[in-house]
Structure 1
Amino acid sequence: MGLTLVTGGARSGKSKFAEKLVSHYLALNKEESVLYIATAVAFDEEMKERIRRHQAQRPAHWRTVEQYRGLSEVFKRSKEKVILLDCITLMISNLLFEAGLNEERPNLKEVELVEKAIVNEINEMLREIKKLKDREIILVTNELGMGLVPAYPLGRIFRDIAGRVNQRIAEVSDRVYFMISGIPTLIKGGG
C-alpha cells in the first residue's frame, strides 16, 4: 500500500507500466476495484484519438473519472482500493491554459499566482492521498527537465512548474519509478 510515482519522457511507457502495476496489485490482493483518473482534455481530433486508444486498452470494469481540477474531492469520495491518476503534467497544462496567460509575454505576477494555485491544487490532492493509507495510489507524470529548453516563455514556465510539482510529489511518494524506453527503473523505495 502507498503512493507510487511513475515518471519518464514522452512515449517512455509510463501509462502502460502504471497499468501493469495496477494489474499486479489486483492479482496479488484478489481485488477488482480500480479508479482511473484521466486528466486529459480532448481539444482536437488527435487528442480525441489518443484518449480513445487509452480508454480501449483499460479494462471495462475500471471506474473512470475525467477531471483535472478538484482532484482532492475525487480522492476523498473514492472507495476503490487502487487509484491510478494519469497524468500530472496534463493536469498542470490544463490549469495553466485555463488561466489564460499571454503565451509570448506572460505577466510574471500572474505566473506566480497561477503557479501558487497549481501547487495548492497538488498539495490539497496530496493531503487527501495521505489519508488513504489502505489504498494503492499510482500517479503518472512526465519528466520534462531532460529535454530541450522550450523556445517560448509559456513553455519554459510550464516546464519549471511541472519540475517543481514533480519534485514535491516524489518527495512524499513511497516509490518512484523512472521509465526509459519502456524499462522501469526503481529510483526510490522498495519494490
Structure 2
Amino acid sequence: MVIIISGGSGSGKSAYAEKKILSLRGAEPLYYLATMQIYDTEGKKKVERHRKLREGKGFVTIEQPLNVGAAADAVEEQASVLLECMSNLAANEMFANAETGLPEVSQVEERVMGSVRMLAERTKHLVIVTNNVFEDGNSYDEGTMRYMETLGRINCRLAELADEVTEVVAGIPVEVK
C-alpha cells in the first residue's frame, strides 16, 4: 500500500505521517527513510526535532539523500517505510551536480519514480511525505521554477500510484484519494 501525505511547510504532515504508518504497522519492521541533507544549523535543528518525534517508536533510520532505490536492499521485505520527504529528495536529485548544469525535469522525475516503485514493490506499507510548494503565487529564478515543476510532476505521478492521498491543512488531515 502506498500512501501520500502532502501539505505546506509546518502543516503537521510529518506528525500525521508518523501516526499513519504506526497505525498500519503490524509485526513487520519499521523504517524511516530520511532524505534531508544537512547544510546548516537550521537543518540540524529540524533533523533533531524529527528524531525526537520518532524516539521510542521503533523506527530504524536510513539516511538516503539521493537514490532512495539504493536503500531498498537495506529494507526488509514487507516492511513498513516512512519516506521523509519527497521535496528534499527531488531537490537533492535536481541540484546534486548543479555546477555542470541542471538535469531535465523528466530525468529527475524518472529517476525518483523508479526509486519509489522499487520501494513500493518491496514494502508492505510505504508512506511518503511531500510538500505543496505551489500556493504562494510568487515567481522565482529558473532553477527554483524547474524544481517546482519537477516536484509537481512527481507529486502527480505519486498520486496516481498511491492507494491513498491525504493533504494536511493546519494540522487537519483531508482525505483526497
In structure 2, which of residues 25, 40, 44 is the aligned counterpart of residue 44 of structure 1? Answer: 40
Deviations 1:110-145 (A, max 9, x none): 54x34233112222113313423x601100000112
Percent identity over paired residues: 25
CA distance in 2, matches of 1:98, 1:118: 11
Letter matched to residue 40 of structure 1: M
- Structure 1: state its 5+ residue gaps: 103-109
CA distance in 1, matches of 2:143, 2:116: 26
In structure 2, which of residues 161, 164, 168 is the aligned counterpart of residue 175 of structure 1? Answer: 164
Deviation at 1:8, TM superposition (A): 1.0
Name which of structure 1's ranges 36-45 and 70-79 shifts more when overlaid on structure 2.
Answer: 70-79
State the match for 1:126 in structure 2: 116
State the match for 1:13 in structure 2: 12
Letter matched to residue 23 of structure 2: H
- Structure 2: state its 5+ residue gaps: none
CA distance in 2, matches of 1:138, 1:158: 22
- Higher alpha-carbon Rg: 1
Deviations 1:72-110 (A, max 9, x none): 1212441162100000001111222212159xxxxxxx5
CA distance in 1, matches of 2:53, 2:18: 9
CA distance in 2, matches of 1:101, 1:148: 28
Letter matched to residue 39 of structure 1: T
CA distance in 2, matches of 1:19, 1:131: 21
CA distance in 1, matches of 2:33, 2:153: 22
Q: CA RMSD in A?
A: 1.9
Letter matched to residue 126 of structure 1: V
Question: Any conservation in 2 of the 1:144–1:159 contact (CA below 8 Å)?
Answer: yes
CA distance in 1, matches of 2:35, 2:116: 16
Question: Any conservation in 1 of the 2:2–2:164 contact (CA below 8 Å)?
Answer: yes
How many residue pairs end up in the alignment? 175
Per the alignment, in what secondary structure is the counterpart of residue 141 of structure 1?
strand
Per the alignment, in what secondary structure is the counterpart of residue 6 of structure 2?
strand
In structure 1, which of residues 161, 164, 169 is the aligned counterpart of residue 153 of structure 2? Answer: 164
State the match for 1:22 in structure 2: 21
TM-score (norm 1): 0.84
TM-score (norm 2): 0.90
Deviations 1:17-39 (A, max 9, x none): 0000122123xx3x262110010
